[in-house]
Chain A
Amino acid sequence: MTKVIINGEEVDIELTKWEFNKIKDILNREPNLTETQMVSVMYSEHCSYKSSRPKLKIFEDAEKNYDYVLAGPGQDAGVIDIGDGYVLAFRIESHNHPSAIEPYHGAATGIGGIIRDILCMGARPIALLDPLRFGSLKDNPHSQWLFKYVVKGIADYGNCTGIPTIGGEVEFDDSFETNCLVNVACIGLGTIEDFEHAPSRAYNPGDYVILMGGSTGRDGIHGVTFASRTLTEMSEEDRPAVQIGDPFTKKMIIEATLDAVKTGYVRGLKDLGGGGLTCATSELTGDGNTGAEIQLRKVFTREPGMTSYEIMLSESQERMAFIVKPDGLEKVLDIFRKYEMAHAVIGRTDDSKVLKVFDNGNLVVNMPSKALAESPTFKREEKKPSYLDNLLSQKTPKYSLSLEEIIYNLIASENICSKEWVYRQYDHEVGVRSVVKCGDGDSGVLRIIGTDKFIAASVGVNSKHCFLDPYEGAKGGLVEVCGNVIANGAKPMAMVNCCNFGNPEIPESFWYFSKAVDGMNDFCRSLKIPIVGGNVSFYNEDEVTKTAIKATPMIMIVGIIEGEKNIITLPFKDVGNDIFLIGETKAELGGSEYHSVLHNIEGGVPPTVDEEKIKAIWEFLFELYNRNLVKANHDVNKGGVVITIAEMCFRNKLGANLDFNNCYGEKLRDDEFLFSETVGRFVIEASPKDLDLILDLATQFKIDLKKIGMLISKPEITISGIKSKQFKLDLVKMKRLYDSTIPNLMDI
């Protein structure tokens, strides 16, 4: 906070003195209170990306380098051309701070916001995915409260709007206890024509500016500046900065907006999210190189007596701004009338390049459009945290339990156990597109009705790995999330990310961000995955306990499957089929579930990524797919290879005889092999008649592949070929443990 004098009064603002003076330079005069607060919002970290922008410049220009990328970073959502006249729009963003204070409405309005971003691209939202982070649930009522109401908020909002929640990811770790993470992703499907109709710019002078949807109230004022600070003990008082969602109105907005876009009269479209009317009008005109006159009292308000500053800064939900051609005004308004959506023509664009806001005839804002839309940036210092070297050199203690007991402990652990408790609350089938449903695959798969194309989408990253090594951790996240869509048979098409980090003004926190961005950049360039959008959430720290969250560069990948026959699912199918492990296993237990659940340590050597090997494995898998050789596929993830195999056995109540002879050399111990979280590995099922062919192809593609066993009808896993004595796991017991952990903690 900075104190400045405006009109002779001392006011607290969220700008630095330098930023305030810069505004004075641009205007050549003192800004008034409304103008100052508008600048304060637009220059907030949340709106301006002032700390992250310089770093994010290292990403390649996706729109320029990939023909099929139609919209890249900086737009409301990334858009790719998937052929047959269709486009996909998708984006992921955070709603961490509101959810940490008010989990139900925080999460719900997070969903509301991301839906609007997709809608802005002229696309119908068809899927939601929600990666979440909380503190450990065990003996922690606060974490249970956050978890319960975040899930309920997502469910109530998503279900009502009729958008299926097809995927997500949850991790529990005490660094998220007060500052939970709620990331929300949405995918939209549209036609190229609709996408081209509705850019997020007001580029034509003389068009009408229409506000449609919910009324403007005093909720959420300065929500973005709240999001751009760390949570403090005072945050409870910020509860009014959390908006209230109305999914019913949102559903009407979706239908009315899509109908309006179809008329062809909408020339620009922008949602009102963070920064409210200020952000929408300044970005529309700033990006469109126009100006506008806005009549503030045309805005329909929820309560009388709102000041110009409150109307311009309100973050009330469920509002959209339309830029409409003059000759189509009535046609567009008729659509809003049909849906009984409140609306008002609040102004017109002009060629002045100045945003002028009138309150009952008084000019209350008079600023160049671009001054608001283009904020200054800051170069932040970065420094590797001193504690890391110690952590990285931590050794795995000797284990006292039997391997069998360790596996039973792992399958029941919060981070590995079934998340069915979560996804049952989400309507994941509405829209009749969900082909691979929650629990049946590593990603959610949707059909595109009328084509033989399928969309696969997945989100995730391993926060514990990123905490130890953000560069390799971010790459590992990409390997895993790409692996998830590949396991279902999809080619990864594009990536969007949501960077959740601590305070960027602290060099150690900024180092995590910087390294994670480097990791994403290097991996995406070498594997040719365009980065089409991103969101940065800083200040995820708790000032009371002085802890930063574990770095979480959340990744979402959208892939395409051509042809129904190429869809692969997770469950094992038939007794007698062979089981293969693809990819080399290394002694990478740093940040593993084995370390945290069994040994209560966070350190060790985390997984590293070899892009060339990953590439070879992916190409090999697609060769197997082309030849129809794969019956089931699941990537090896938390807990290691045996957990992966158990998860594949559950659905069809099968078992497996496993022999790990020749799978790992002298150097690796049993626990290092069995519980390693080396990324980029897959377990596949294939028919025994194809064994020789698969082995030949593996040699040809120069990849590590071992036949590790066979499927049996008895629900048990036997494990031999290890250094210790062979042992047996009861899959009925494993399934019970897998299913009961979260219900036992939550349904009491």
Chain B
Amino acid sequence: MNIKIAVIQFPAANCDLDAIHVLNNVINVQADLVWHNHFKESNYDAVVLPGGFSFGDYLRAGIIAAHSPAIDEARIMLKDGRPVIGICNGFQILTEAQFLPGALLRNESLKFSCKWVNLKVENNKTACTNKMNVGDVLAFPIAHGEGRYYTDNLKELEDNNQIVFRYSTESGDLTEEANPNGSLENIAGISNLDQNCIGLMPHPERASEEILSPKGTVHGKLFFESIIDFIKRRVS
């Protein structure tokens, strides 16, 4: 089948071309860069909201983009089970649009932070983790100033198995030191109930090629390959 993925270009998205590069050249799937006002869901099997500073993150990170027509289109995909993925700023947009619960607050350090972290896979049934195992530890970089995940409904999230990734040590321990931004319970990424919508702060597109990775790992590829796998299984 001919899979097509849209990467939405919001004004001042800046990881849009990075996501396109990895999908096209590393995962070898057709991915189109689509200007946010031009996006039509019917053409695509999945949508990626990339990282960046959509609309300058003025007012609050992700909130203006959450009112873009692209989000109305994405909502149709959300409802019929197609993958809707938010990376970094995309995650912020998904919480602002209430596709996902909770909010992303200023980092505990009050500073932007760019570094490689370890993530423990908590749920391997989602659209972007089905090629992973629960307990796997992935190396992804983060780059954000507002990535401290918070929710009032932690128990609900845990009961519904909506926590997808947590910040951990290299050996998978969920310590305070391993938490780069003060996120509640080390939460780095979550999903909706149907597990087709996932948001995460770390950047899988920066961790998909050996040459960019400090330890030569390519865990980001697993992330994107899971999406492809999910689409194929969903269609068949």
Contacts and interface: CB of A to CB of B under 8 A. Distances in A.
Contact of A430 (B18, B35, B55, B58): B18
Interface string B34-58: 0100000000000000011101111
Contact of B53 (A247, A424, A434, A747): A247
B233 interface: no
A564 B216 CA distance: 14
A162 B54 CA distance: 11
Interface string B1-31: 0000000000110110110011001000000
Given A162-B15, A248-B55, A432 B112 contact: no
A437 B57 CA distance: 26
B232 interface: no
B211 interface: yes
B209 A424 contact: no
B143 interface: yes
A431 interface: yes
Interface stretch (A139-147, A153-161, A376-384, A677-685): A153-161
Contact of B141 (A160, A252, A426, A429): A429
Nearest to B143: A427
A46 interface: no
Contacts of B113: 424-425
B205 interface: yes
Nearest to A747: B109
A161 B13 CA distance: 9
B12 A429 contact: no
B177 to A, nearest CB: 14
A428 interface: yes
Interface string B173-208: 000000000000000000000000000000101100
A435 interface: yes
B115 interface: yes
B11 A429 contact: no
Given A424-B115, A425-B112, A435-B212, A430 B56 contact: no
A156 B25 CA distance: 30
B114 interface: yes
B55 to A, nearest CB: 7
Given A160-B56, A339-B11, A430 B143 contact: yes
B58 A435 contact: no
Given A251-B11, A251-B12, A429 B56 contact: no
Interface string B100-140: 00000000010111110000000000000000000000000
Interface residues of B, number: 33
Interface in A301-342: 338-340
A234 interface: no
A340 B10 CA distance: 12
Interface string B205-224: 11001011010000000000
A164 B92 CA distance: 21
B143 A159 contact: yes
Contacts of B214: 437, 440
A160 B212 contact: no
Contact of B206 (A251, A432, A747): A432
A190 to B, nearest CB: 15
Interface string A424-463: 1111111110110100100000010100000000000000
A434 B214 CA distance: 11
Contact of B209 (A162, A340, A432, A747): A432
A704 interface: no
Contact of B14 (A251, A340, A424, A434): A251
B18 A340 contact: no
Given A248-B11, A251-B53, A437-B214, A426 B22 contact: no
Contacts of B14: 160-162, 251, 430
Contacts of B203: 429
B53 A248 contact: yes
A429 B143 contact: yes
A258 B212 CA distance: 26
Interface in B146-170: none
Contacts of A287: none
A427 B15 CA distance: 11
B211 A424 contact: no
A72 to B, nearest CB: 30
A427 B206 contact: no
A591 B209 CA distance: 44
Contact of A432 (B53, B114, B212): B212
B212 to A, nearest CB: 6
A160 B51 CA distance: 10
Contact of B114 (A162, A247, A249, A427): A427
Nearest to A454: B211
Interface string A689-724: 000000000000000000000000000000000000
Contacts of B15: 162, 430
A381 to B, nearest CB: 47
Contacts of A427: 112, 114, 143
B12 A426 contact: no
A246 interface: yes
Interface in B80-101: none
Nearest to A340: B11
A425 B53 contact: no
B91 to A, nearest CB: 16
A196 to B, nearest CB: 23
A426 B12 CA distance: 17
Contacts of A435: 211-212
A161 B21 CA distance: 18
Contacts of B17: 431
B111 A432 contact: no
Contacts of A432: 18, 21-22, 205-206, 209, 212
Interface string A39-68: 000000000000000000000000000000
A449 B12 contact: no
Given A162-B15, A424-B115, A248 B212 contact: no
Contacts of B114: 423-429
A674 B113 CA distance: 36
A425 B212 contact: no
A434 B143 contact: no
In the complex, which of the residues A156, A429, A437 has the most CB atoms of chain B within 10 Å of its own CB atom? A429
A191 to B, nearest CB: 16
Interface in A121-148: none
Contacts of B211: 435, 447, 564
A426 B145 CA distance: 10
A627 B23 CA distance: 36
Contact of B11 (A159, A252, A423, A425): A252
B55 A155 contact: no
B39 to A, nearest CB: 14
Nearest to A425: B112
A31 B9 CA distance: 49
Contact of A248 (B25, B58, B109): B58
A454 B67 CA distance: 40
A429 B109 CA distance: 20
* Residue picked from B14, B15, B25, B113, most chain A C-beta under 10 Å: B14
Given A339-B11, A432-B212, A437-B214, A424 B56 contact: no
A162 B52 contact: yes
Nearest to B55: A248
Interface string A722-748: 000000000000000000000000010
Given A424-B113, A426-B114, A437-B214, 20 more contacts: A159-B145, A160-B14, A160-B57, A247-B56, A248-B55, A339-B11, A423-B114, A424-B112, A425-B112, A425-B113, A429-B141, A430-B14, A431-B17, A432-B18, A432-B22, A432-B209, A432-B212, A449-B21, A449-B25, A747-B109
14 contacts: A155-B112, A162-B53, A247-B12, A248-B57, A251-B56, A339-B11, A424-B113, A425-B111, A427-B114, A429-B114, A429-B141, A429-B206, A435-B211, A437-B214
Q: What 3 A-B pairs are tightest by C-beta distance, nearest first?
A: A162-B14, A248-B56, A251-B12
Interface of A: 155-156, 159-162, 246-249, 251-252, 338-340, 423-432, 434-435, 437, 440, 447, 449, 564, 747
